[in-house]
Structure 1
Amino acid sequence: MAINRVGVAVGGLVAVGLLCLQWYKHGKRKQHLTSSILLGPTASSESSFNRGPELGSSQYQTPIFSYEELDEATNGFSTSRELGGGGFGIVYQGKLRDGRVVAIKRLYNHNLKHVEQFMNEVEILSRLRHQNLVSLYGSTSCRSRELLLVYEFVPNGTVADHLHGSRAHDLALSWPIRMSIAIETAEALAYLHAVEPQVIHRDVKTSNILLDSSFHVKVADFGLSRLFPLDATHVSTAPQGTPGYVDPFYHQCYQLTDKSDVYSFGVVLAELISAKPAVDTNRTLHEINLSNMTISKIQNCQLEQLVDPILGYQSDWEMKTMITVVAELAFRCLQLEREMRPTIKEVLEVLRDIESGEYKTKKVVEADVPVKEDASLLKNALPYSPDSVTGRWESRSTTPPTSE
């Protein structure tokens, strides 16, 4: 009897073992099938400039790089080659076999959201040609072992770096350079809003505005951008973007328009004036968001408290006049009601007039309502982009916005 019991026990263990092995193999097959559906078969030997299939465009095709060449270009994606990172990947400096120095974005993983982001950026950038937009040199295939985007290398960091980041101590951004940055960024956005189909960037911010060695602008990072259908007044989509820059109307109503980029650009103007980050939890409660702080200082005639001290706002009358007019323009861009914001084309025209000296306050604040009336309206509807995407959003309220 004891021997029989031992035999039954051993037989049971063997059966359980076989069942576990079968389950493991089934799981591996399912995982492989899921990966194959998502990414397709692995491609590890594409030629550096082999033209892949069109990525959503009948006009442009994107050069395909092999994973091996880009791995070699970055010395195995060495940490010493890292230029920075964001929500979807790390950017590395690399040198291609043909001698070009490039920036290579490496997406963190292969989940569906990142594959869509990868395809979206390739599709949009393959359509665009403008001197103030970063150029896409190519990418790996979407079937490659890793999703990699290859851009022109822009060597002088970002506007955020120079205003309040790692390069701020250089004090390199004089007012004329800041004006040039504003104009060139507006030119890039005006181009995006004028092409057909229209492109809404959706993540305009100083850390996405790159600078070359001569401080000329290259707007980057089109992963969140949207192609706007012809003849559409808006696109209904869940809000995405960076806290402090996101259009409150877009967040409230889930309606994306080109005026959403205008709001974000208004925050960029405020940063250029103040050299302060868009969100800073070390500031007082009601000034955590720079957009909120800017509106408050303008309404209360305290602009001098906002302006970067190195600009000479108090000592140079011409400088004071120019900064004041740019602040009034930012004020218009930051209004809660999108209909009250100028188009980016109008913003560009005003900035060019300011730079040339052919500006007048009347021209800048020209709108359907006077600036004083605008200010009165905004006291009851502060434009406020929160410091947290999960925080409470303020709209029409007579009480100051709070942070959560």
Structure 2
Amino acid sequence: MESNIEITNISLEGQLRVLNYISRDCYDKNGTRVQWTNPFIQLTTSLTINNTANKITAVGCDTNAFVYGFRHNNRFYRTGCNSWCETEGDLVNGSCSGLGCCQTSIPKEVWTANLTLRSYDNFTNVSDFSNCSYGFLAEESAFNFSPSSLSSLWNVDQLPMVVDWAVGDGTCEKAQNNSSSYACKSTNSKCYKPDNGYGYRCYCQEGYQGNPYLYDGCKDIDECLDPSLSKCEMKCENTQGGFRCVCPKGYQGDGKIDGRGCIRGQSLVLKLVAGVGLGSGFGLLFLLLTCYRLCKFQKKIRNKKRKQKFFKRNGGLLLQQQISTDEDILEKTRLFTSKELEKATDRFNESRILGKGGQGTVYKGMLSDGKIVAIKKSMLVDEKQVGQFINEVVMLSKIFHKNVVKLLGCCLETQVPLLVYEFISNGTLFDYIHDESDEFLFSWNRRLKIGVEVAEALAYLHSSTSIPIYHRDIKSSNILLDEKYVAKVADFGTSMSFAVDQTHQTTLVKGTFGYLDPEYFQSSQFTEKSDVYSFAVVLVELLTGQRPISFDRSGEQRSLATRFLLCMEGENLETILDPQVLEQGNREELIAVAKLAQMCLNLSGKKRPTMKEVAMELESVRMSQKLSTTCETKYQVVQLHKSKSILMSDDDYTWTSTSENPISSSDTLPLKIHTV
């Protein structure tokens, strides 16, 4: 990467010092800006701005310093501070508490920084002693504030900044697989992971010193030349990577000052006693070692039997039966051992937990090859329910789609069954829709893209697999986002496969309130249109930014789907849409998506479109968004027929129905939407 930043020092310990430019913002007496500089810092992914040695500093009497940029993994950050003073007497030597000077820390793992200076009054309300703002990201020890800094900084262009460096952006294990690019060249060097978590560094092993990045760069240290290192009482002999203390002839001991040292030889009787004692000790040691090995062997046999018992109880025989009828499952699904997954999760440490749900707990783990995975530890221990777990394994082994989370394998020899998935780094769609912070702007374009991706995944499951697969628990918390915010449908614990000619299946009602198809709840007959209803609730979440169930409301107002349909009927869609969606979305796009959601929420499953039709319609809206922003789209009036109103009770979550007169086509009016 090309850069005009001057490097003044590089250390083998992983730091380098550079000269970073100072930002300036100056005004004349009339408040007119006469100079403004705004340097931008951008490093490579193997470089990180040190967050302990550096500080963000702003100097001036009418100054706001604002710093923003990206941390590793493209996480956005922003910070800053304000500095103010009215007279030169306000300033204090060495103090950056906000009077003439302010300081704040840089976040961890930052690799880009843009420092912008702003003035509230363009220095028109400040005395003549100051008319400039200065801002810089520099080593804290390189600057000491004084009143003269307001003028002396005019002559300073650069200040030192500390940057952490590493080699590449992978792990030690991954780097060692490619010997030609592996940076730890010396045979006596080792690799370690720096605190910032990116790349790796090298160091010389104990007993060696030098440059670990050069062939034969780590040289042996002769500890015998330095008594503080060897601490031998009489004689020291240097060895490769160490030393040993020796006693001269006629002396016994370890020769160390802090050990037994060197003592003169003992009498024959004492030697005989010592020999007998030593022999008895070895005999006892042999006996203990034999007992230990026998106990260890027995424990190994018990563990093996216990694993076989768990394998049978967790559905191993059922999975083998599935494999016998479909060999593709064996080829595409890896069987992990319990030892592998315990090591990957640090024995299922609580710090590795990614989330908990009704089906189990999900842990973050790293396999022996360095691959990051998500490991689902099921809560099922009842043998009557183990078919649900094996069902998820079989379902996911048949699914290969870019918007469906990939199953890597499973483990059945533990007390509770385990599933190993690809790791999806950016959390759930629910987290992004309902994130109330300002750190992430969830734009309408991204929402529409995610809606298209989820619809395409469900259309694939319904109509493109050899046997139709219905998810049965579509909700925003079961939709994951990867590092590029690509949607991945997850959690197939309650899914079902249907015969090609089978239209529905009668089951125990399972799902999540707020997303559950009312028709399915009443009839216990699950169809592909039940997934369509649940997807429509997710689509309404994307449009409104509201939760599917609001417990601070009462009656039918608790359900987001009901509130949305009432707004569509009352031609006041804009009252429920997310303000950000209203601001960014095209009027015709929003109406098209809202009407599509309205059709999918129809109380009669037969009147809902299929997921394939939904995916095609959403993709059409998205393509029209890309191709033209001036085309006028004609929409047909969508009529909402209220044949039945489904409500959820306040207390026990039971469902009731009330009859109403249907609305004729003459009573419905075109929907209206107002943009702000």
Task: Output the CA distance in 1 between the equivalents of 2:469 and 2:443.
Answer: 31
Following superposition, the deviation at residue 286 of structure 1 comes to 2.6
Which one of 617, 641, 645 corresponds to residue 382 of structure 1? 645
2:663 paired with 1:393: no
Aligned to 1:41: 309
- The CA RMSD over aligned residues, in Å, is 2.6
Aligned to 1:94: 365
Aligned to 1:233: 503
With over 3 angstroms needed to count, the CA separation of the structure-2 counterparts of 1:362 and 1:257, relative to structure 1, is farther
State the AA in 2 paired with 1:146: V
With over 3 angstroms needed to count, the CA separation of the structure-2 counterparts of 1:177 and 1:226, relative to structure 1, is same
Task: Output the CA distance in 2 between the equivalents of 1:388 and 1:160.
Answer: 23
Aligned to 2:285: none
With over 3 angstroms needed to count, the CA separation of the structure-2 counterparts of 1:360 and 1:125, relative to structure 1, is farther
Which structure: larger Rg? 2
Following superposition, the deviation at residue 356 of structure 1 comes to 1.3
Aligned to 1:173: 442
Task: Output the CA distance in 2 between the equivalents of 1:323 and 1:382.
Answer: 25
Following superposition, the deviation at residue 226 of structure 1 comes to 0.3
Following superposition, the deviation at residue 395 of structure 1 comes to 3.8
Where do residues 241-256 of structure 1 align in structure 2 (5 Å cutoff)? 241-256=511-526
SS in 1 for 2:488: strand
Aligned to 2:455: 186
Which one of 82, 86, 98 corresponds to residue 353 of structure 2? 82
CA-to-aligned-CA distance 1:343-385 (integer Å, 9 cap, x gap): 111111110111111798656x6xxxx623xx1x12x32355x
Where do residues 330-369 of structure 1 align in structure 2 (5 Å cutoff)? 330-357=597-624
Q: State TM-score, norm by structure 2.
A: 0.48
Following superposition, the deviation at residue 327 of structure 1 comes to 0.8
Structure 2 residue runs without a partner (length 5+): 1-304, 313-318, 626-630, 662-676
Task: Output the CA distance in 1 between the equivalents of 2:550 and 2:384.
Answer: 29
Structure 1 residue runs without a partner (length 5+): 1-35, 45-51, 400-404
Where do residues 4-403 of structure 1 align in structure 2 (5 Å cutoff)? 41-42=309-310, 53=320, 55=322, 57-61=326-330, 62-141=333-412, 143-165=413-435, 169-194=438-463, 195-311=465-581, 313=582, 319-357=586-624, 371-372=638-639, 375=640, 377-378=641-642, 380-382=643-645, 386=648, 390-398=652-660
Q: Is the 8 A contact 1:383 1:395 kept in 2?
A: yes
Task: Output the CA distance in 2 between the equivalents of 1:169 and 1:283.
Answer: 26
Larger relative contact order, structure 1 or 2 (CA cutoff 8 Å, min sep 6): 1
Q: Is the 8 A contact 1:157 1:210 kept in 2?
A: yes
With over 3 angstroms needed to count, the CA separation of the structure-2 counterparts of 1:80 and 1:254, relative to structure 1, is same
Task: Output the CA distance in 2 between the equivalents of 1:198 and 1:188.
Answer: 12
Following superposition, the deviation at residue 168 of structure 1 comes to 5.3
Task: Output the CA distance in 2 between the equivalents of 1:83 and 1:387.
Answer: 32
Q: State TM-score, norm by structure 1.
A: 0.78
Q: Is the 8 A contact 2:599 2:608 kept in 1?
A: yes
Following superposition, the deviation at residue 156 of structure 1 comes to 0.4
Task: Output the CA distance in 2 between the equivalents of 1:307 and 1:101.
Answer: 38
With over 3 angstroms needed to count, the CA separation of the structure-2 counterparts of 1:382 and 1:171, relative to structure 1, is farther
Task: Output the CA distance in 2 between the equivalents of 1:144 and 1:235.
Answer: 33
Following superposition, the deviation at residue 391 of structure 1 comes to 2.1
Following superposition, the deviation at residue 302 of structure 1 comes to 1.6
Provide the identity percentage.
39
State the AA in 2 paired with 1:187: E
SS in 2 for 1:230: coil
State the AA in 2 paired with 1:193: H
Q: Is the 8 A contact 1:212 1:218 kept in 2?
A: yes
State the AA in 2 paired with 1:60: I
Following superposition, the deviation at residue 396 of structure 1 comes to 4.8
State the AA in 1 paired with 2:450: I
Structure having the larger proportion of residues in helix: 1
Following superposition, the deviation at residue 321 of structure 1 comes to 2.3
Following superposition, the deviation at residue 173 of structure 1 comes to 1.6
CA-to-aligned-CA distance 1:52-101 (integer Å, 9 cap, x gap): 83645342222111111111111111111111111021101000111110
